[in-house]
């Protein structure tokens, strides 16, 4: 059987205030606006192009997180890569973005942390790259 899927094209994120969310994602992630409709917007990274972020306005925020029933830890469904994890963490704190605990393994320096968009959607940042990334 052949494989039909080659990559993630779009991540759809529910937002309650489209304008505020567009500003947040452009400022925090460095993405650019590709398309803006009345109740939705498409954003993309300048360098890579994929995946795009499709912000969809909704009446109530539904969240992008879940609780790991094995350990009770709340996970985001989107992890962003940064080689400058600590710098990014403190930059977000300076911008008064809600951030979680910075977790860095003492032996290898790898780790991550969670942060929230204006609707409370949980996002994560990590300095871990997996094979093929």
**71 compared with 93, residue with greater pLDDT:** 93
Q: For 90, phi and psi rounded to 5 degrees?
A: -70, -30
Q: What span, in angstroms and rounded, lies between the C-alpha atoms of 129 and 88? A: 16
Residue 123: give its domain's CATH number.
3.10.180.10
Secondary structure (H, E, C), the chain:
CCCCCCCCCEEEEEECCHHHHHHHHHHHHCEEEEEECCCEEEEEECCCCCCEEEEEECCCCCCCEEECCCCCCEEECCEEECCCHHHHHHHHHHCCCCECCCEECCCCCCEEEEEECCCCCEEEEECCCCCCC
> What mean pLDDT do residues 85-89 have?
96
* 85 and 45 inside one domain: no
4 domain residue, yes or no = no
Q: What span, in angstroms and rounded, lies between the C-alpha atoms of 13 and 57? A: 9
* 128 and 99 inside one domain: yes
* 55 and 68 inside one domain: no
* 44 and 78 inside one domain: no
pTM of the model: 0.86
Residues 32-51 pLDDT 10s: 999 999 999 999 988 766 78
User: Using 50, 70 and 90 to split pLDDT, how confident is the model at 19?
Assistant: very high
* 105 and 131 inside one domain: yes
Q: What span, in angstroms and rounded, lies between the C-alpha atoms of 112 and 26? A: 21
* 118 and 56 inside one domain: no
**Residues spanned by the domain of 45:** 9-61
Asked if 75 and 85 count as a contact pair (C-beta separation under 8 A), the reply is no
């Amino acid at each position: 059987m052949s494989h039909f899927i080659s990559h993630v094209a779009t991540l759809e994120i529910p937002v309650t205030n489209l304008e505020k969310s567009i500003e947040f994602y452009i400022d925090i992630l460095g993405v650019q606006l590709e398309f803006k409709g009345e109740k939705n917007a498409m954003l993309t990274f300048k360098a890579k192009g994929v995946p795009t972020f499709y912000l969809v306005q909704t009446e109530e925020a539904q969240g992008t997180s879940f609780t790991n029933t094995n350990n009770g830890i709340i996970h985001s469904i989107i992890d962003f890569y940064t080689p400058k994890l600590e710098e990014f963490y403190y930059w977000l704190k300076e911008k008064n973005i809600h951030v979680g605990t910075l977790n860095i393994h003492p032996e290898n320096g790898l780790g991550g942390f969670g942060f929230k968009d204006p609707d409370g959607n949980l996002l994560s940042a990590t300095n871990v790259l997996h094979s093929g990334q």
